[in-house]
Amino acid sequence: ETGVTQTPRHLVMGMTNKKSLKCEQHLGHNAMYWYKQSAKKPLELMFVYNFKEQTENNSVPSRFSPECPNSSHLFLHLHTLQPEDSALYLCASSQLGQRSNTGELFFGEGSRLTVL
Amino acid sequence: SQQGEEDPQALSIQEGENATMNCSYKTSINNLQWYRQNSGRGLVHLILIRSNEREKHSGRLRVTLDTSKKSSSLLITASRAADTASYFCATDNNNDMRFGAGTRLTVKP
């Protein structure tokens, strides 16, 4: 138990569906992240929220829409995805320190997404 | 985009042997971190080394950092079958955390 909880753990959806991934952190951290992990590829940083403000959006397609209603919760809304979007989506949180140090990332167990 | 690159991509050793994994990166960093991932699970933080540090130890783990060569190594001593996992380095550059593709370590009993 890392203090970061992701739901659902597994999700199968069609290309026309709308679904959401949820992440909750119980660590009092001030930053939250979405990463995408595809087979045999590096983790791709998708979004970063720092004190609920989005500070990073790495050219992610608009069919992925993040939402951070408060510092403990992070969502990833999914709409009209493609089969190549199938991957493990990992949420993480950290306590950003002074002088822009990220510190340790605490990851959830991930949401395994399959797009048919 | 990817920052760290691990080498080798895969490593297979016998229990009791040492395992060494390397990481190279391209830009300046605040710190470098190593993570472990069991298959299909989340990543777990192992150790963090700051840009002004050269070596750090934690249990059976030893990490080195050479900022002039932009490289780091992770040594796991006296490996165990339970050490079988993927290992990733991650570089922190002003709150931008980037990971490599990882080294898949297999420790045979």
Instruction: Name the token pair of A43.
Output: 């983790």
So what's the pLDDT on residue A20?
A: 97
Q: pLDDT of chain B along its 109 residues, tens only? A: 456 778 899 999 999 999 999 999 998 898 999 999 998 889 999 999 999 999 999 999 999 999 999 999 999 999 999 999 999 999 988 777 889 889 999 999 9
Q: For all residues of chain A together, what is the average pLDDT?
A: 89
Of B44, B96, B99, the CB nearest to A43: B99
**Are the beta carbons of A102 and B42 separated by less than 8 Å?**
no
Taking only the tens place, the pLDDT of each residue in A58-114 is 789 999 999 999 989 999 999 999 999 999 999 999 987 655 566 789 999 999 999
Helix/strand/coil for A98: helix
Pick from A43, A88, A100: which is nearest to B94 by CB?
Answer: A100
Give the pair of three-digit tokens for residue B92. 């922190």
* Region label for B60, one of left (φ > 0), alpha (ψ between -120 and 50) or beta (otherwise): alpha
Amino acid at site A41? K
